[in-house]
């Protein structure tokens, strides 16, 4: 059964492109896109690659499109400890280590923690999360509202991020389910005087106000790297910076 036409049509609609718009992005005729979606034409391997690029598809989906079109997959999924990944491991460890005394971690597409620096181990260790743990499970757990001071605002923005990441991957049930639960949290305010929404952690006398940036590896051609995100946390106020430095023994 030729699954490529339906796969192409589904992703084109997910990206909210007309056949003409996709044709322009892929530098082909709209008639050819129409023929591909109806099965009247079969794509070449190069055409599948061009369409994947034009649609900004995740590498796993590009592999799927190739198999649906009758070709072998193009992008491997290397194990983290393989020799070819050594420079990547070194770059990741350097980034996480150099970010101290601020927390930093790397997560995969489902928010499973791959690596953490010492500061993140302390912060998330208090919440029962270590390498291999799930931030999705944490953020949807009963404990999270009790340790995040501004939980309604954080929940609303986390839901938005999850929906965005899910849409970019063509719909991920785990992300959508978590987004639905977080989006239902009542009490979030739309008004803020800050350019960002920090996450304010409170446990006893400890109070940390943090915001984060997210980085990804450029031009990945491996599924493992395509899924990996590095999240770097920064203090949103001076008192938090002092606390983080004190926790690090500085």
pLDDT in tens, 31-44: 999 999 999 999 99
Q: For position 52, what pLDDT does the model report?
A: 96
- The label of the residue with tokens 């993140």 reads 120
Domain span at 88: 83-247
Q: Which two tokens stand for residue 34?
A: 């129409």
- Tally of CB atoms within 10 A around 121: 16
Last residue of a domain, one of 21, 44, 68: 68
Which of the listed residues 41, 68, 95 is the one where a domain comes to its end? 68
Q: How many domains does the chain have?
A: 2
Rounded to two decimals, the pTM is: 0.88
3-state secondary structure at position 195: coil
Residue 77 lies in a domain: no
Q: 120 and 22, same structural domain?
A: no
Confidence of residue 56 (pLDDT cuts 50, 70, 90): very high
* Residues 204, 92 share a domain: yes
Please name the residue that has the structure tokens 């030729």. 2
Residue at 187 is within a domain: yes
At 53, which CATH number?
A: 1.10.260.40
| 89 and 148 within one domain | yes
**Bridge partners (DSSP) listed for residue 201:** 148, 208
Q: How confident is the model at residue 218 (pLDDT cuts 50, 70, 90)?
A: confident
């Amino acid at each position: 059964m030729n699954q490529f036409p339906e796969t192409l049509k589904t992703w084109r609609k997910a990206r909210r492109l007309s056949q003409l718009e996709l044709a322009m992005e892929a530098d082909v005729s709209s008639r050819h896109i129409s023929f591909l979606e109806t099965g009247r034409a079969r794509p070449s391997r190069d055409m599948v690659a061009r369409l994947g690029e034009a649609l900004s598809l995740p590498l796993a989906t590009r592999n799927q499109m190739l198999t649906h079109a009758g070709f072998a997959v193009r992008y491997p999924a290397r194990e983290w400890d393989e020799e070819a990944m050594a420079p990547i491991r070194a770059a990741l460890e350097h980034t996480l280590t150099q970010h101290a005394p601020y927390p930093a971690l790397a997560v995969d597409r489902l928010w499973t923690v791959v690596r953490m620096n010492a500061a993140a181990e302390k912060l998330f260790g208090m919440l029962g999360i270590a390498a291999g743990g799930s931030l999705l499970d944490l953020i949807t757990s009963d404990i999270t509202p009790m340790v995040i001071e501004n939980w309604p605002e954080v929940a609303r923005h986390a839901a938005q991020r999850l929906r965005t990441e899910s849409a970019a991957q063509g719909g991920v049930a785990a992300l959508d389910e978590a987004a639905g639960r977080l989006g239902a949290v009542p009490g979030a305010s739309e008004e803020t005087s800050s350019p960002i929404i920090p996450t304010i952690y409170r446990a006893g006398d400890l109070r940390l106000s943090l915001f984060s940036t997210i980085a990804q590896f450029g031009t990945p051609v491996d599924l493992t790297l395509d899924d990996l995100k590095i999240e770097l946390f920064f203090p949103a106020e001076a008192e938090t910076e002092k606390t983080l430095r004190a926790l690090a023994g500085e």
